[in-house]
Amino acid sequence: MTDLQEKRAEGMARRYDVRGLDAIDVAVLDTFPVAREDAHSYPGQPIEVVIRTDEFSPVCPWSGLPDFGELEIRYLPSERCVELKSLKYYLTSYRLVGIYHEHATRRVLADLVALLDPLTMTVRCDYGLRGGLHTVVTAQYARP
């Protein structure tokens, strides 16, 4: 029996360390107002904001291996928009966090809804194929 076979037999298969949910850096998120406070404001012109990245990569809570996903955030802002550089830092903070696909998608939605109080928001993540399984998770919010 090889060393790896012995480790597997003993239940000691390889696993990478992962961080907990407290490593998600919500404090880095920043916003800016939808309407400007000068003569160049845009009254009566609602907008939809769509942000996409193919670099979303939380990790599997069991193995610590990265789960690569294409993340899309789509929202109708009420008063504020998310500042993009701060969003990049926020999303990057997931890189060592052990979290399931479904939880990661719902957590992004919850954090951004708390930050922005949008009229509506949808977060969709299309995770890469793993073990023959393809996962797409969509979480939605609509202001009551």
Q: How many domains are contained in the chain?
A: 1
Percent of the chain with pLDDT over 70: 85
Please give the helix or strand (H or E) that residue 141 lies within, else none: strand 133-142
Give the CATH number, domain containing residue 36.
3.30.1130.10
Is residue 87 pLDDT above 90, yes or no? Answer: yes
Residue 3 has pLDDT above 90, yes or no: no
Whether residue 60 lies in the annotated active site: yes
- Residue 42 belongs to some domain of the structure: yes
Q: Which of 25, 60, 111, 126 is catalytic?
A: 60
Please report whether residue 71 resides in a domain: yes
Higher-confidence residue: 136 or 13? Answer: 136
Helix/strand/coil (H/E/C) assignment for every residue in 77-125: CCCEEECHHHHHHHHHCCCCEECCHHHHHHHHHHHHHHHHCCCEEEEEE
Q: Read off the pLDDT of each residue in 36-61 and give the average, rounded to a whole number.
A: 83
Q: Domain for residue 3, yes or no?
A: no
Q: What is the pLDDT of residue 11?
A: 54
Decide if 5 is inside a domain: no
The mean per-residue pLDDT over the stretch 34-39 comes to 69
**pLDDT, mean of residues 130-141:** 93
| Mean pLDDT (the chain, rounded) | 89
Other C-beta atoms within 10 Å of 51: how many? 17
- Say if residue 14's pLDDT is above 60: yes
CB 124 within 8 A of CB 105: yes
Q: Which range has the worst mean pLDDT, 19-23, 119-123, 137-141?
A: 19-23
125 is catalytic: no
Domain residue limits at 34: 15-142
Tell me whether residue 131 is in a domain: yes
- The pLDDT score that the predictor gives to residue 58 is 95
Residue 55 lies in a domain: yes
Cβ burial 105-126 (10 Å sphere, 16+ → b, else e): bbbbbebbbebbebeebbbbbb
Give a yes or no: residue 96 inside a domain.
Answer: yes
The arithmetic mean of pLDDT across residues 90-118, rounded, is 97
Residue 43 pLDDT level (bands cut at 50, 70, 90): low
pLDDT in tens, 92-102: 999 999 999 99
Does residue 130 lie in a domain region? yes
